[in-house]
Structure 1
Amino acid sequence: MRQLIAYLVCIAVAAIVTLAFTPREGASVGETALNTDRMQINGLLNLGKRQVAVGERGTILISDDRGHAWRQASVEPRRQISLTAITALSAGQLIAVGQDGLILRSSDEGSSWHEVRYEPEAGEPLLGVWAAGGDQVFVFGSYGKFYQSDDAGQSWQVLALEVDRSHLNAMDGGSDGRRMLVGEQGLVLRSADNGQHWQQLPTFYNGSLFGVVRLSSQRWVTYGMRGHVFVTDDFGEQWQAIKVGNTQPLYGHVLLPDNGGVLIVGAGSSMVRLDGQGHLLGTSRQPGLGTLTSAVVVEGDQVLVAGERGVYQGSGNSVAVLGKGEQRHETR
């Protein structure tokens, strides 16, 4: 049963579908232009001039024109297993994670990747990755798996957390040492000393939490199943539910520029926008995009969203527009 739950959680976080994707052989990365509208994308990263996406069957895509055209990155070895998340460190160093404990590393802004960890015998997914600054980075996932690297992902050490083998889905933090980690069954952990010690907070929600985002040292937002969104103004001592009027699961987010708050995306093409204080600005849907897993802001206020149907860049996808279409306040 636990193995089944792990599999379902991975599907929920990434909304994986069985759409065909076969890498082209005999063509270099620069020669291969790809249509992404039939690819499941689970993680999206903006590096300024470059965007990087990861997803089904080991797919890693890069774009150097703000998401208009994509090409396939070089991955060695290329495994046909889903990648679930990606993050950036410094000096072009990136880390991506996926099923079977897979960890990939790039030192050239995503153009080429090599494998640094792989555990196929366990068959358990890594679900998230978070860069703490400098060369420190964490990856985490099913059954409480939690690894730390202090050399930009070249080597990893296992960290033990008292979470009763719960799945860990997302992490965020700041330079002041305050961090939060969320997971299944309403699990929320916090640390005030750069992760040396973790405290499990009292459960305020029994469903899975798929994301957490820091708005300030005191103000944090977490979200997950059935459209539930919660905000705290005291570093997790108390949480308030935000009535977004959405029962679709929420899977990913992007912090908006100039303290513009956060945009949260999820199933049913749903979008929830909060301001910098964690107050609801509105909800909307982008018809025809299916499940959304991630979003980034490029070129000022242009938003790229990604998920079940690849990466989407529409003419109306701006910070000024998204999240202000169908403001509703009813909830369950």
Structure 2
Amino acid sequence: MRIQTPRLLSQHAFKTLMLSVSIMTALTGVAAAQTDGLPMQPSITSAMAAQSVMLSVARAGDRLVAVGERGFIIVSDDNGRTWKQVNSPVSMTLVRVRFIDDREGWAVGHAGVVLHSQDGGLSWSKQLDGVLAAAIELQEARQSIDSSTDADKAQERLSQAQQLVDEGPDKPLLDLLFVDAKNGLVVGAYGLAFVTHDGGLSWQSIRSHIDNPNGLHLYSIERVGTDLFIAGEQGTLLRSSDEGLTFESLASPYEGTTFGLQATSSGSILAFGLRGKAYESKDRGDTWQRLDTLQPITLTSGLRLEDGSVLLTDESGRVLRFKVGDTKASVLKITQPSYFTGMAQAANGNLIISSARGMLSSAGAVESPEHDQ
């Protein structure tokens, strides 16, 4: 049965869907489209920021950085024991944050925003938004009209780009991957995909380089060796073997939506998503082996630990662990289960989890007794 994702959702329906399917679907991040520009307001200061819906957490050296609703960005310098809010240039929800080292990091979210930090998450600047992204798409589509060998395809691309401009910046970016301080990619709803080669100072659309003719939502991007992988709705799996210049479709092990990808220490890749489905490929995505996640509960995030094992969270608040070579999960004992959305391992080894109820520091959770469930 092919999973059909609703194309239009109200703001209330979207929030409900966020919590029930990994808080990453983010189909409409703005209640009303703005066609005359994107109003950028800084995030408010709130004493409850660390207890709000937080959607992603990453490690920047010894610091932890988390992002979430209302543009909230919080940091911890004591391994997740306490958190403080830092200024954010936007007030729309931020979905994903990643750092390449202790200083350089990026975050993406609603309205097509990309934020950049050069000081370990203490300050942020906006590099891209939905208005600029749509303008880039339209300009490139117009330029392709004269050079394209397929006039119908070029005209369709132009129509889609014009639609992006007309509808306004209501489409979120959902994941990002920087291979170094200059070269990175961002992906999102309706097949949005952009690349930068100057650290985010400028962006180019790579939508036409991705085998995704129906504009399906792209939820996750991951690197394994020299390959790049993208996963999305309705069984979308893509691979690039040329550093992101082109992406080819892979045969998906199932037709449901894949919300996450996780590289392993052994060079394989895990894909996971709806109804607890998780698969591992040891041959660059050519074939996949089903993993036993014990219950059919939607999986929401992944993390590779320093010991090489992989953790997966689900929407019921379980944390599943696959040691190297395992095909069946064990369950870590978490004392405060919630809708888990992201994970990071702190400098002291503790497991740090972002959730619908804020941040959780599970001291000793990585080493805690495990059990089947």
TM range (shorter): 0.7 to 0.9
Which of these residues, 108, 115, 130, is aligned with residue 119 of structure 1?
A: 130
Question: How far apart, in 1, do the equivalents of 2:277 and 2:68 lie?
Answer: 25
Q: Which residue of 1 aligns with 2:243?
A: 194
TM-score by length of 2: 0.76
Question: How far apart, in 2, do the equivalents of 1:285 and 1:167 lie?
Answer: 33
Which of these residues, 3, 11, 23, is aligned with residue 14 of structure 1?
A: 23
User: Which residue identity does 2:356 align to in structure 1?
Assistant: E
DSSP 3-state at the match of 1:197: coil
- Per-residue displacement from partner, 1:271-327 (whole Å, max 9, x unpaired)? 11112235334124635431101111113431111111111113342x2227x23x1
DSSP 3-state at the match of 1:226: helix
Question: How far apart, in 1, do the equivalents of 2:97 and 2:247 lie?
Answer: 24
Question: How far apart, in 2, do the equivalents of 1:208 and 1:147 lie?
Answer: 21
Q: Which residue of 1 aligns with 2:36?
A: none
DSSP 3-state at the match of 1:100: helix
Structure 2 spans left out of the alignment, 5+ residues: 1-5, 27-42, 132-167
- The question of whether the paired residues in 1 share the 8 Å contact of 2:318 and 2:337 is answered with no
Q: Which has the higher strand share?
A: 1
User: Which residue identity does 2:296 align to in structure 1?
Assistant: T
Which of these residues, 1, 7, 10, is aligned with residue 2 of structure 1?
A: 7
- The question of whether the paired residues in 1 share the 8 Å contact of 2:293 and 2:329 is answered with no
User: Which residue identity does 1:232 align to in structure 2?
Assistant: S
- The question of whether the paired residues in 2 share the 8 Å contact of 1:90 and 1:134 is answered with no
- The question of whether the paired residues in 2 share the 8 Å contact of 1:229 and 1:241 is answered with yes
Question: How far apart, in 2, do the equivalents of 1:2 and 1:281 lie?
Answer: 34
Give the CA deviation at 1:72.
1.1
1:283 aligns with 2:331: yes
Structure 1 spans left out of the alignment, 5+ residues: 26-33
Question: How far apart, in 2, do the equivalents of 1:14 and 1:46 lie?
Answer: 20
**Structure 1 pair 165/285, CA: closer, same or farther in 2 (3 Å)?**
farther
- The question of whether the paired residues in 1 share the 8 Å contact of 2:22 and 2:298 is answered with no
Which of these residues, 135, 144, 166, is aligned with residue 182 of structure 2?
A: 135
User: Which residue identity does 1:141 align to in structure 2?
Assistant: G
Q: How many residues of Structure 1 are paired with residues of Structure 2 in the alignment?
A: 309
Q: Which residue of 2 aligns with 1:210?
A: 259
Q: Which residue of 1 aligns with 2:230?
A: 181
Moved more, 183-192 or 130-139: 130-139
Q: Which residue of 1 aligns with 2:279?
A: 230
User: Which residue identity does 1:124 align to in structure 2?
Assistant: K
- The question of whether the paired residues in 2 share the 8 Å contact of 1:42 and 1:306 is answered with yes
1:249 aligns with 2:298: yes
Question: How far apart, in 2, do the equivalents of 1:213 and 1:170 lie?
Answer: 9
Q: Which residue of 2 aligns with 1:306?
A: 354
- The question of whether the paired residues in 2 share the 8 Å contact of 1:244 and 1:283 is answered with no
1:70 aligns with 2:83: yes
1:168 aligns with 2:229: no
Moved more, 221-230 or 196-205: 196-205
Q: Which residue of 2 aligns with 1:29?
A: none
Greater relative contact order (CA < 8 Å, ≥ 6 in sequence): 2
Question: How far apart, in 2, do the equivalents of 1:179 and 1:307 lie?
Answer: 27
Structure (1 or 2) with the larger CA radius of gyration: 2
Q: Which residue of 2 aligns with 1:155?
A: 202
User: Which residue identity does 2:45 align to in structure 1?
Assistant: R
Question: How far apart, in 2, do the equivalents of 1:65 and 1:204 lie?
Answer: 41
1:109 aligns with 2:120: yes
Give the CA deviation at 1:114.
1.5
DSSP 3-state at the match of 1:75: coil
1:51 aligns with 2:40: no
Question: How far apart, in 2, do the equivalents of 1:122 and 1:315 lie?
Answer: 40
Q: Which residue of 2 aligns with 1:40?
A: 53
DSSP 3-state at the match of 2:8: helix
Identity %: 25
**Structure 1 pair 280/301, CA: closer, same or farther in 2 (3 Å)?**
farther
Once superposed, what is the RMSD of the aligned Cα atoms?
2.5
DSSP 3-state at the match of 2:200: coil
